[in-house]
Structure 1
Amino acid sequence: MRYAVSDDGLRLAYEDQGAGAPLVCLPGLTRNMEDFEPVVAAFSERARIIRMDFRGRGASDHAPDPMSYNVPQEARDVLTLLDHLGLHKVAILGTSRGGLVAMMLAATARERLSGVVLNDVGPVIDPGGLDAIMDYIGRRPGFATLSEGAAALPASYAPDFQNVPPATWADMARRIWREEEDGLHLRYDPRLREAVAPAFDTTQPAPDLWPLFDALDGLPLALIRGANSNLLSRQTTAEMRRRRPDMLVAEIPDRGHVPFLDEPGAVALISEFLDRVS
């Protein structure tokens, strides 16, 4: 594990593996760099895979003020990491929240990007997906062991996820929870709930994020969508394709929010994207 230091003094954890064109992997809202283990396994021989934990997640420091868990600050943290590594320009693979950060970077520091892959996220967030996230975010799971938690995941994610191998659920449990004597704990700061609750209030008008998406104009762009996603609708996907007819798209069957990135369609799309940015 390596660390960069944010502009407000937090240690930001990252891993840097492989060789080739740099691909920075940014995880989802409550997730961490371990979600990108399949990407490292598939592509570290042809790309430099840099995986990052956002502040308050995984091995990165928790912030004294949870309200710093926001997309603009997280985008600045990515730039801090790039400067720490001496990288002027990188491609980004962003899962959910990580994709929003990638779009923010396109709007604020476009010269640092060589291309973007969005994993099950777009400029319109379906309210049903936000409600589902608020059902669990910041709440400790009620399982005693990782094996118990893994066994419960298929039912929790049904019917959006089907035909998922037991080993994949076991990997997911290991990535999202840690096992201690008193049971499972979250691998992120529970106060993240305080930070996102106002933005996730579906009774208020949603911000217009299309300008952030449009800022990707001219960059190689790819989209992975879970066919059963409750966060990225088919209508939003269609509009993204209309605005960017050159965008690579893979819809992953039997997956909701978010695909694991080990699916053949996801692997093939990332491979084609790397051909465009290498």
Structure 2
Amino acid sequence: MEFLTSYDGTDLAFRTLGDGPPLLCLPGGPGRAAEYLGDLGGLGAHRTLILPDTRGTGASGTPADPASYRVDRLVADVEALRRHLGLDRIDLLGHSAGGALAMLYAAAHPDRLTSLTLLTPSFAAVGLPSDTGAREVIAARAGEPWHAVAVLGYDGMRSATSFAEAARHRFAFEPLMYGRWDAAARAHAAADPAQRSLPVSEHYYADYTPDTEALRRRLATLTCPVLLLAGEVDLWPTAASATAAASLFPDVTLTVQPGAGHYPWLDDPAELTATVAAFLTRTDEHRTDEHRTDDRRTAA
């Protein structure tokens, strides 16, 4: 585990694993320590994964001001980590609520990105729905033995007024978040309470009102390529929501992973790794071609 000190004196923890060019991976939850990402299904074989714990989670410090947990204010922590790593530009990946943060970072610092990977992201930060058609997705899984209990859990989550209240329904609801409710999925879901900081969860979107028009204008001018990956049976976001949100970006590759839920690296790690690695390789090749063109122009 490594540490840096952010803009307000809060110590932030991050770990690195894997081999290859760096890929900064923002965890979601919101408020879940990056441990739940694992190595993203083997993506560490292609990239050096940089996995920060959001302030207040995991090994990161607790700030004096809990309002600094808010998603737009966390952009400063991402920028502090980029500077600490000494990277002029970064490949950035955000999962779930971390995808919302990644979009805000892209809007604020577009010149610092070489690519943006949005892995089953939330669109709350840009004012778009994430659950379009969710009831239809749930109904299509009615043959599963856990379905009736999971629907009750989903309804409880939806009616909860706080993350603490929603937590009482979470495990009943969890089968709907995975493409396969097998032993690996159950272990992954069971680890959530110990990895999650409820104060971070509660403050992540508290009092946050996005300037949707300004954000969409900025994202519409983003020059780096974007991979937007949704799971076929995910609820937040649904594939329908991701398809609609793809229009935010001028250079986007939209992929819906068959049979996958909210954690596609568990449902089909080989498929997830191949998709993300291929996208990043194309980005690397495009960047190399641009550098060669610049070198030729300089020589001329």
Tell me which interval the TM-score lies in, with the shorter structure as reference length.
0.7 to 0.9
Query: Residue by residue, what CA displacement relative to the aligned partner does 1:3-23 show, whole Å, maximum 9, x if unpaired?
Result: 111111111110022332210
- More strand by proportion, 1 or 2? 1
Within the candidate set 162, 177, 182, 2:193 is matched to 177
Q: Which residue of 1 aligns with 2:224?
A: 219
| Aligned positions, number | 254
Per the alignment, do residues 26 and 167 of structure 1 end up closer, same or farther by CA in structure 2, a change over 3 Å counting? same
Which runs of 5 or more structure 1 residues have no equivalent in the other structure?
Answer: 143-148, 179-185
> 1:92 & 1:84 partners in 2: Cα distance?
15
Q: Which residue of 2 aligns with 1:17?
A: 17
> 1:44 & 1:191 partners in 2: Cα distance?
27
> 1:33 & 1:80 partners in 2: Cα distance?
17
SS state at 2:73 partner: helix
Asked if the contact 1:104/1:212 (under 8 Å) is kept, the reply is no
The CA deviation at 1:177 is: 2.7
Asked if the contact 2:69/2:200 (under 8 Å) is kept, the reply is no
SS state at 1:25 partner: strand
Segment of structure 1 superposing worse, 90-99 or 165-174: 165-174
Matched, 1:45 2:50: no
Q: Which residue of 2 aligns with 1:34?
A: 35
Per the alignment, do residues 166 and 133 of structure 1 end up closer, same or farther by CA in structure 2, a change over 3 Å counting? farther
SS state at 1:213 partner: helix
- Measured on the aligned residues, the alpha-carbon RMSD in Å equals 3.2
> 1:133 & 1:273 partners in 2: Cα distance?
38
Aligned-partner residue type, residue 69 of structure 2: Y
**Which aligned pairs between 1:1-278 and structure 2 lie closer than 5 A?**
1-28=1-28, 29-39=30-40, 42-121=42-121, 122=123, 123=126, 124-126=128-130, 132=158, 137-138=163-164, 153=171, 155-174=172-191, 176-178=192-194, 187-190=196-199, 192-194=201-203, 196-199=205-208, 207-208=212-213, 209-215=215-221, 217-242=222-247, 244=249, 246-256=251-261, 258-262=262-266, 263=268, 264-278=270-284
Rg (Cα) greater in structure: 2
The CA deviation at 1:139 is: 5.1
The CA deviation at 1:135 is: 5.6
SS state at 1:224 partner: strand
> 2:83 & 2:159 partners in 1: Cα distance?
32
Question: Percent of aligned positions with the same letter in both sequences?
Answer: 26
**Which stretches of structure 1, 4 residues or longer, exceed 6 Å deviation after superposition?**
none
SS state at 2:50 partner: strand
The CA deviation at 1:197 is: 3.8
> 1:197 & 1:4 partners in 2: Cα distance?
26
Per the alignment, do residues 162 and 199 of structure 1 end up closer, same or farther by CA in structure 2, a change over 3 Å counting? same
The CA deviation at 1:117 is: 0.6
> 1:120 & 1:127 partners in 2: Cα distance?
12
> 2:36 & 2:95 partners in 1: Cα distance?
9
> 2:174 & 2:257 partners in 1: Cα distance?
15
The CA deviation at 1:237 is: 2.7
Segment of structure 1 superposing worse, 221-230 or 20-29: 221-230
> 1:140 & 1:3 partners in 2: Cα distance?
32
Query: Residue by residue, what CA displacement relative to the aligned partner does 1:48-105 show, whole Å, maximum 9, x if unpaired?
Result: 2101111112221122221111223211101111111111111111012211222222
- More helix by proportion, 1 or 2? 2
> 2:34 & 2:177 partners in 1: Cα distance?
23
SS state at 2:256 partner: strand
- TM (norm. structure 2) is 0.72
Q: Which residue of 1 aligns with 2:298?
A: none
Query: Residue by residue, what CA displacement relative to the aligned partner does 1:129-149 show, whole Å, maximum 9, x if unpaired?
Result: 9x749566245956xxxxxx9
Q: Which residue of 2 aligns with 1:145?
A: none
Segment of structure 1 superposing worse, 63-72 or 157-166: 157-166
Aligned-partner residue type, residue 281 of structure 2: D
Asked if the contact 1:2/1:13 (under 8 Å) is kept, the reply is yes
> 1:107 & 1:243 partners in 2: Cα distance?
11
